[in-house]
Amino acid sequence: MNPEDCLKAMSQLVSRQSGRRLVLAASHWGTFKLTDEPMDEPPARMRELWQSARLDAKDIWIMKHGETRTLT
C-alpha cells in the first residue's frame, strides 16, 4: 500500500473501532527498489499525511531497518 492508501484504510478502521486505539506500523519500506521514487520518500510522505490528518504521533510506527517492537 502507498501512504495515501494506508491513511485511508486507517480512517476506515478507526471509524469502526469505537473506543479502541489503533497503531499503524510501517515496516517494509525500503526493502526493495520497486519504483522511481527515492527509497526514503514513502515513510516521509506517511509522516506528513499523518500530521496533516492531525493523528497522534505515538500511533504511527515507521520502523527502522532491523527494528522490532513489543506489543503488550
- Residue 51 in this model has a pLDDT that exceeds 90: yes
> For residue 24, what are the β-bridge partners?
60
Instruction: Decide if pLDDT at 14 tops 80.
Output: no
Above 80 in pLDDT, residue 27?
Answer: no
| pTM as predicted | 0.76
Provide mean pLDDT across the span 8-16: 82
Pick from 7-11, 13-17, 21-25 the range whose average pLDDT is largest.
7-11
Provide the 3-class DSSP secondary structure of residue 54. coil
Torsion of CA 5, 63, 44, 49, to 10 degrees: 40
Measured distance CA(39)–CA(50) in Å, rounded: 19
